[in-house]
Amino acid sequence: MVAEIILNSSVKKLNRTFDYKIPENLNIKIGSRVFVPFGNKKTPEEGIVIGIKEKSEYKVKEILNVQNSEIKEEYINLAKWMAKRYICNLSDCLKLMLPPGTTSKNTENRVKDKTINFIYLARDKDEIEDDIENGNVKSEKQRNILDFIIRNEPATMQDIEIFTDGTRSIVNTLVKNGYLEISEEKVERNPFIHKVENKTTDLKLTDEQQIAIEKIKENGEYLLYGVTGSGKTEIYLQLIEKKLKEDKSSIMLVPEISLTPQTVDRFIARFGEEQIAVLHSKLSIGERYDQWNKIKEGKAKIIIGARSAIFAPAVNLGLIIIDEEHDESYQSEMSPRYDAKEVAEYLAKENNIPLILGSATPDMKSYYKAKNGKIELLTLTKRANNSNLPAVKVVDLRQELANGNKSMLSDSLKEEIEKNLITKTQTILFLNRRGFSTFIMCRDCGYTVKCKRCNITMTYHKNENKLKCHYCGYEEPVVTTCPECHSKNIKYFGAGTQRLEDEVHNLFQEATTIRMDVDTVSKKNSHEEILDKFRNENIDILIGTQMVVKGHHFPNVTLVGVIAADSSLNFGDYRANERTFQTLTQVAGRAGRGEYEGRVIIQTYNPDNYAIEYSKVQDYDLFYNTEIELRKQLKYPPFCDIIVIDMSAKNLYELKKLAKDLHTYLKQRVINEKFGLLLYSPVPSPIDKIKDRYRWRMLIKCIYDERVNNLLSDAFEEFLKMNTKTARVNIEINPNNML
Ligand code: ADP
Ligand code: ZN
Ligand code: ZN
């Protein structure tokens, strides 16, 4: 028999299978991880068997060896599906399905099981006790150790050192004399830092929760749309419990940033630590490896993790949940550029199990599907514990300026902070700092320059002092006078948590503050440390970016201030309004979760913008109805897909030629074969040079079906044949970030 093997390599030219003969003595099946000789390389290459056939048309070499870790055939098929859909290397997709830390070229560097020496009694307990009584064990230290092990078998060397006055050499003597034996055993690196004591049981569901849960059948896709605090998590808990009773596993994805001990604790409190595995990037590679094995061995039936946990080798998968389904982190920005939601859909269909998408502010695409009956809509309209949604006030920053207030804090916000300092309740100040783009805006009327063709805020490019549209490449010189109101009060908007903190200190010298942004959050657990400190030490004011938004629960926070809602309205993406509404609604949801009523102040130069107006009343439906009409008119998703063909090279001439050739190829086929799609001309990318590589791109608006998929695959093949020196091409399907 002959195996078709994918080499564990990301070299594009090797993105094909190689045939190898299967030796009689090796047990090899689809998914086996093998070592094979390749070319004139001295060391064997690693590969994965993705097909088996009778014979090969080539003269083939033999497989050398097989490892005892394999990928299930189901996941080989998933990898093939992904490689096709996302037009990327199969080996890159397969890597996602391997145990963490086991893909290193150098097998010596791979993560291995962690082992500890356990010390056992080598003889029967009674015999040893007799020996001690009869005075056969002379040294007191030896007797103490034996005594300890008799009561605490098995013990580690560390236990012995702590609880007796024994040493390693005394233990060795006891081993030599036949009293003790040492056994090297696998132990789990445990990422759960602390124990959860209080066990919880099912809450009695509210009527709304009850109706929602009853609608969920044995399969199908559901959108659980429920306001913040409406009890979505309780529904997840009870669904998972039901699956556990059927001996089935559940995968729950949460955004990376909200995968805090707080979230995990709720699950541990209900189900206990034993059955739960967590997977996220803050774990050490060894911890991840052990969690993966815990899942694969079927010990952990509840898998909680960030995006890539969707590939966890769940045994008997029965349910997939994606919480905060609108979150951008579910889409990978590195190759393979997959969307975990789409992968979840694939897995749910293959396994014939339910997929639950949950959010208070659903992705426009999901809500559109639900409205059109493609997936089932489950709605929770009320907070489960009957607390009120906070009162939101919008402050017009143009007016502030007219009144002579040039600081980052409006008079109303200052007053409210003052009140909180007196009552010793906490405040969160949120500075939206999406992307790295800067834009310019008139401070008198709120006008920003938009591309006339795309209706997208133009991005300011400092080096060239120009405004550019990130979609079509249209450029304009920087304006110094507002075309609307002729004011000269034009301002550049960028970052500034540090500046905000300084301002707060100047205004409120007695206030304690803590800052959370990319600069202060870096090392393991640090994000959590900042939040714990804020909560436990009752710090007056937390100043933060995006990171403060997600799912945290602070009972003592009664005031949330949004410094400038506009920065997310103007980040150069068709989803700007959607993201603004989501962010404002989520951040407002942080206030007043305890017994006190919450207040939210949103500062903006665009109080009339509908995303801001509707977030004031926290009405997603109102927002959706307006936004969907615009999307329809401008032909943006969900009415089409946007494909970005991202090209780069070290040499600008090489890149331009590639862009032109690829465009010509596509254009000809689109015309000849009558594709109903919109192909844009290649333009320099928004950030047109990164790390010495020039970048251009080409956009396509279309319905991404199999025909378009094939067209793009062909175009990619064309590129591989083009004999370029340094060029790279990436194809992105509905990318999150248009920069
Ligand atoms: P969400 O996930 O929608 O934000 P949660 O599940 O976190 O909502 O619920 C919010 C709060 O309401 C939690 O404190 C939770 O314990 C409580 N809660 C949820 N469901 C119920 C219920 N059926 N009865 C009483 N309290 C509930
Ligand atoms: Zn103006
Ligand atoms: Zn444009």
pLDDT per residue over 485-527, tens digit each?
A: 999 888 776 556 767 888 899 999 999 999 886 556 655 557 7
Which pLDDT band holds residue 225 (cuts at 50, 70, 90)?
Answer: very high
Average pLDDT of 668-694? Answer: 88
Asked if 599 contacts 427 with a C-beta cutoff of 8 angstroms, the reply is no
Burial class, 629, CB count within 10 angstroms (exposed 0-12 / middle 13-18 / buried 19+): exposed
Residue 230 beta carbon below 6 angstroms from any ligand 1 atom? yes
pLDDT of residue 596 exceeding 80: no
CA of 456 to the centre of ligand 3 (A): 7
Question: What percent of the chain has pLDDT above 90?
Answer: 51
Query: Which ligand lies nearest the alpha carbon of 481?
Result: 2
Nearest residue CA, atom 6 of ligand 1?
231
CA of 627 to the centre of ligand 2 (A): 25
Query: Which ligand lies nearest the alpha carbon of 488?
Result: 2
Distance (Å, whole) CA 323 – CA 356: 8
pLDDT of residue 436 exceeding 50: no
Lowest mean pLDDT among 111-115, 147-151, 252-256, 634-638: 111-115
Q: Choose which residue among 200, 211, 234, 270 to substitute to test ligand 1 binding: the one with the highest number of ligand atoms within 8 A of its C-beta.
A: 234
What is the chain's mean pLDDT, rounded? 87
Contacts of 258 (CB under 8 A, 6+ apart): 324, 550, 551, 552
Q: Choose which residue among 385, 549, 593, 620 to substitute to test ligand 1 binding: the one with the highest number of ligand atoms within 8 A of its C-beta.
A: 385
Nearest residue CA, atom 21 of ligand 1?
384
CA of 635 to the centre of ligand 3 (A): 14
Average pLDDT of 208-224? Answer: 96
- C-beta atoms surrounding 723 within 10 Å: 6
Ordered by where they begin, the domains of the chain are 2-98 (3.40.1440.60), 114-187 (no CATH), 207-380 (3.40.50.300), 391-436+495-631 (3.40.50.300), 641-733 (3.30.70.600)
Tell which wins on pLDDT, 187 or 340. 340
Residue 232 beta carbon below 6 angstroms from any ligand 1 atom? yes
Relative to the CA of 226, which ligand 1 atom is closest? 3
pLDDT of residue 3 exceeding 90: yes
Residue 255 beta carbon below 6 angstroms from any ligand 1 atom? no
Relative to the CA of 227, which ligand 1 atom is closest? 3
Residue 234 beta carbon below 6 angstroms from any ligand 1 atom? yes
Residue 228 beta carbon below 6 angstroms from any ligand 1 atom? yes
Written as six digits, the tokens of 426 are 């906490």
Tell which wins on pLDDT, 423 or 159. 423
Contacts of 284 (CB under 8 A, 6+ apart): 189
Distance (Å, whole) CA 515 – CA 517: 7
Residue 687 beta carbon below 6 angstroms from any ligand 1 atom? no
Relative to the CA of 206, which ligand 1 atom is closest? 23
Residue 226 beta carbon below 6 angstroms from any ligand 1 atom? yes
Q: In whole angstroms, how far apart are CA 221 and each of 47, 154, 348, 357?
A: 35, 48, 8, 8
Nearest residue CA, atom 23 of ligand 1?
205
CA of 236 to the centre of ligand 1 (A): 11
Which pLDDT band holds residue 66 (cuts at 50, 70, 90)?
Answer: very high
Query: Which ligand lies nearest the alpha carbon of 486?
Result: 2
Distance (Å, whole) CA 393 – CA 170: 73
Lowest mean pLDDT among 13-17, 208-212, 286-290, 376-380: 13-17
CA of 250 to the centre of ligand 1 (A): 20
CA of 383 to the centre of ligand 1 (A): 7
CA of 450 to the centre of ligand 2 (A): 13
CA of 391 to the centre of ligand 1 (A): 20
CA of 562 to the centre of ligand 2 (A): 22
Q: Does residue 638 have a cis peptide bond before it, meaning omega lies within 30 degrees of 0?
A: yes
Residue 361 beta carbon below 6 angstroms from any ligand 1 atom? no
Nearest residue CA, atom 5 of ligand 1?
231
pLDDT of residue 78 exceeding 80: yes
pLDDT for the residue 459: 76
Whole-angstrom Cα Rg for the chain? 30
Query: Does the CA dihedral 129-135-136-139 come out positive or negative?
Result: positive
Residue 359 beta carbon below 6 angstroms from any ligand 1 atom? no
Written as six digits, the tokens of 545 are 């970016």
Nearest residue CA, atom 4 of ligand 1?
229
Query: Which ligand lies nearest the alpha carbon of 482?
Result: 2
Written as six digits, the tokens of 628 are 């969907």
Half-sphere exposure in the Cβ direction for 473 (13 Å, CA): 12
pLDDT of residue 479 exceeding 80: yes
Q: In whole angstroms, how far apart are CA 324 and each of 3, 266, 358, 369, 616?
A: 42, 16, 6, 17, 20
Q: Model-level pTM?
A: 0.82
Edge-first strand order for the sheet with 65-70 is: 17-21, 2-7, 45-53, 32-36, 65-70
pLDDT for the residue 522: 56
Query: Which ligand lies nearest the alpha carbon of 453?
Result: 3
Asked if 358 contacts 378 with a C-beta cutoff of 8 angstroms, the reply is no
* Helix axes of 411-423 and 497-507: crossing angle, nearest 10 degrees: 70
Q: Choose which residue among 213, 233, 379 to substitute to test ligand 1 binding: the one with the highest number of ligand atoms within 8 A of its C-beta.
A: 233
CA of 569 to the centre of ligand 2 (A): 17
Query: Which ligand lies nearest the alpha carbon of 475?
Result: 3
Helix (H, G, I), strand (E, B) or coil at 701: strand
Relative to the CA of 204, which ligand 1 atom is closest? 23
Which pLDDT band holds residue 433 (cuts at 50, 70, 90)?
Answer: low
CA of 399 to the centre of ligand 2 (A): 13
Query: Which ligand lies nearest the alpha carbon of 470?
Result: 3
pLDDT of residue 435 exceeding 70: no
Q: In whole angstroms, how far apart are CA 159 and each of 72, 137, 194, 609, 714?
A: 40, 21, 20, 65, 63
Of 676, 598, 245, whose CA–CA distance to 425 is shortest?
598
CA of 448 to the centre of ligand 2 (A): 8
CA of 402 to the centre of ligand 2 (A): 13
CA of 229 to the centre of ligand 1 (A): 6
Written as six digits, the tokens of 488 are 């000269």
Query: Which ligand lies nearest the alpha carbon of 472?
Result: 3
In the chain, the amino acid numbered 688 is D
Asked if 247 contacts 319 with a C-beta cutoff of 8 angstroms, the reply is no
Contacts of 31 (CB under 8 A, 6+ apart): 48, 49, 50, 70, 71, 72, 73, 75, 76
